[in-house]
Amino acid sequence: MKFWTLLIAGLAMLHQVKAAEITVYTALEDDELAVYMPAFEKAHPDIKVNIIRDSTGIITARLLAERQNPVADVVWGTAATSLLVCEELGMLAPYNPKGIEKVRPTMKDAVNTPVHWVGIKAWVTGIVGNTIEMQARKMTMPRSFADLIKPEYRGALVMPNPASSGTGFLTVSAILQLMGEEKGWAYMDKLHENMALYTHSGSAPAKMAGKGEFPVGISFAYRGFKQRASGEPVEVAFPAEGSGYDIESNALISKPQIKPEAKTFLDWAISDEAMAMYAKVYPIVATDIAVKAPEGWPADPMSVLIKNDLTWAAKNRQRILDEWTRRYDGKSQKR
């Protein structure tokens, strides 16, 4: 009898260990995760989190490929436009994380109650220029989309491939929304003439500009400011016409058995503690906590953003990616 009691107790303990382990898919940067994850582990030492990190497009493709047999329990810090695609396919489970009432209406699911996704912060197109390389080539710092198609930048630009990078997609989406599709594609034909290559990730163009591999990278502002803070000779500009952006968002994946630890993680991911950490580098966060814009941002960070139709971007995402790939994908490189 004692043997069976011990066996049952042992099996129960194994079940508890398994239940306390969750898999989180994320497109957040590695240096962000190095800050955020220790804070979660300190708050919830009983939950083991398996992080799967990649560029937005790759995370999105993985989620879609696993649709019938999902692996992830939670998606954290991935583009709202990607989650809207997943929502349309019934892949997201409804859940109101604790504190959902603090989240701005424009940065969470406005259709469903409980919500199917909730934002944490916005990331924004930035132009990152290496001051030494530009001076050597007698280039001026580009400060607009119009500047980027000038002949002086022929072969000097790098930007992310929108099929793999959320930064690439939000930038292409911004151009199409700002100019209209006909003029937008005509503009990108000219931009392509100045492009040296397209990278796998959104951070790579800023890193390459920082190292002097290319004079100018179209990336996202956070990464440019991060490269500058590390001592690299870069300047960061927001396109004068307006910066494209997307909302880094979280969601609970719909599965036959949803672990309570997954919900605990989502609660923490929009907590005041988490928002305060996000705000140190991303001044546009999902709640109205006091935020001091990091150096290089305007006093009103919202002023750099385009009027962005995320629903349009999500509905047209695959069509836009197919057209972009047909036109330009020959210069892509996995970096």
State the Cα–Cα distance between residues 278 and 286, nearest whole angstrom: 10
Q: Are strands 195-199 and 157-160 parallel, antiparallel or unpaired?
A: parallel
Q: Where are the domains of the chain?
A: 20-122+245-304, 125-244+306-333
* C-alpha to C-alpha distances, 67 to 26, 85, 87, 92, 115, nearest whole angstrom: 16, 12, 11, 10, 20
Residue among 58, 59, 64, 55 at smallest CA distance from 90:
64
Which tens digits make up the pLDDT trace of 223-247? 999 999 999 999 999 999 999 999 9
User: In the prediction, which pLDDT does 291 show?
Assistant: 80
Report the 10 Å Cβ neighbour count for 205: 33
Q: Encoding tokens for residue 146?
A: 């119009």
* Topology of the domain comprising 125-244+306-333: D-Maltodextrin-Binding Protein; domain 2 (3.40.190)
pLDDT of 12 reads: 52
The span from the CA of 279 to the CA of 292, in Å, is 8
Helix (H, G, I), strand (E, B) or coil at 92: strand
CATH architecture of 20-122+245-304: 3-Layer(aba) Sandwich (3.40)
Residue 295: per-residue pLDDT:
83
d(Cα 138, Cα 132) in Å, to the nearest integer?
Answer: 10
Residues 249-302 pLDDT 10s? 999 999 999 999 999 999 999 999 999 999 987 889 999 988 888 888 888 898
Distant-in-sequence, close-in-space partners of 334: CB < 8 Å, separation ≥ 6? 199, 200
Q: Enter the pTM of the model.
A: 0.86
As given in the structure block, the two tokens for residue 123 are 């990331």
Question: How far from 305 is each of 75, 110, 242, CA to CA, in Å?
Answer: 25, 20, 5
One digit per residue, the tens of pLDDT, for the chain of length 335 reads 455 555 555 555 544 445 489 999 999 999 999 999 999 999 999 999 999 999 999 999 999 999 999 999 999 999 999 999 999 999 999 999 999 999 999 999 999 999 999 999 999 999 999 999 999 999 999 999 999 999 999 999 999 999 999 999 999 999 999 999 999 999 999 999 999 999 999 999 999 999 999 999 999 999 999 999 999 999 999 999 999 999 999 999 999 999 999 999 999 999 999 999 999 878 899 999 888 888 888 888 989 999 999 999 999 999 999 999 999 987 765 55
Helix locations, the chain, DSSP H: 2-19, 30-43, 56-65, 80-88, 131-136, 145-148, 166-179, 181-193, 204-211, 221-229, 260-269, 272-279, 310-315, 317-328
Domains 20-122+245-304 and 125-244+306-333 share a fold: yes
Question: Residue 50: enclosing H or E segment and its boundaries?
Answer: strand 48-53
Which DSSP letter does residue 180 get?
A: -
Alpha helices in 20-55 (DSSP H): 30-43
Specify the pLDDT at position 19.
46
**What's the confidence (pLDDT) of residue 2?**
54
Instruction: Give pLDDT, residue 308.
Output: 94
